[in-house]
Structure 1
Amino acid sequence: MTDISRPPRKGQVLVLCAPSGTGKSTLVQKLRKEYSDVGFSISCTTREPREGEAHGREYYFLSTEEFITKRDGGEFAEWAEVHGNFYGTPKKPVEKMLFKGMDILFDIDFQGAMQLMETMPDGIFVFLMPPSYSDLRSRLEGRNTDSAEVISRRLRNAMKEMASAPKFEFWIVNDDLEQAYSELRAIYHAGKNRPCTNPGLLESVLSSWE
């Protein structure tokens, strides 16, 4: 069998988006643990850290003034206001990882995903959804981290976010964590074989026909 010279594969952008309480962070953690070479885009936020979160690991926790300064300076690849707090993806780390050919995982809200669809159209955009409204409510209430008012606001926002699902390339229903993760892994691996992540591969194969 003839070996071909495989050109370097481009890094791919994997964007996971979901309503709050759907289990997105858990799936992100599982993927990062299994694939330690996948770059992770750490977002900036103005919200308060939750128990167990650390600055520079889950998020960069900024004051509103610091965030606005960075936003106005064009330092974010995308940004949005969610549940009364600002979130944004620092641009420079993303550019550095893509330059190195690394795959990058984004854990962002749907507003940010809409922006990345415009600036990174070759990205893989996955929408994670709960199996039902009642299930999402139970999950949010079970976290015991938010007031009833905040939970109601998150549920209202979830309805708006669900309406954006048709804009995404892939859907996953998280009614079983292991099944949902298996589907996310399959999507990630399939992305490695897309033409846009393998520039020059077809030409390399065809060159052996000459």
Structure 2
Amino acid sequence: MKDVVLVSASPKLNERSTSKEFLEMAGSRINSDLFSKTFIDVRKSFLTHSLAEDFAALARADVIIISFPLYYFCLPGMLTRFLVDYQTYCTARGKLNKQVKVYAIVNCGFPEPEINLEAVRVIQSFSRHLNAEFRFGVLIGGGSMMVAAKEAPFMKKAVQKLNSAFASMAADIQAENSTMMESIYIEAKYPFSRPLYYFMGGRGWITMARKNGLKKKELYRKPYRMNE
């Protein structure tokens, strides 16, 4: 039986994570009779000091699926640190499994899924450094909306494409000799205008700021900008 390791890299701790939900959807498509499945939560790995145990699980993996939200148009900082430390772990042991398949699931709050492309390229580069085979990414626009409104009629086509993408991933994992695949782009089609979508997203940041004792103007601060 081959090993699949599913890595959730959302910085959220106690809240329900969109990235984890996508990862579970992908994992549910994988045949449990052929593959054992191990879930790793990157944030918990750091908090519980279980990196060595989790790195050992990754080193045994035949397949690695990494799911994360887009942060500042790239990976969350903790995931970058996790991957760099894992590469160091592998290099020190000299055990790089060339048969490992790697997949990425990246979601962002923007409607356009192509915004996730640079983050997927980082995972592709990480795979090359480990002599692993990066297969493809699933790039999801409007990730949180895709989960929150998945039962809505206007989301039907996007959800169907999402399920199809995870089915393709499961088939590719199981295939012995599979051809190269292009990354899959999934865009939610909203029944309202994009300016309204961005406006509502902005209001969400303001509400979150107030809950944390901040004023709206403090969201525009640039603490690292050099004084002129």
Give me the TM-score of the superposition, normalised by structure 1. 0.40
The one of the two structures with greater contact order (alpha-carbon pairs below 8 A, sep at least 6) is 1
TM-score, with structure 2 as normaliser? 0.37
Normalized per residue, the structure richer in helix is: 2
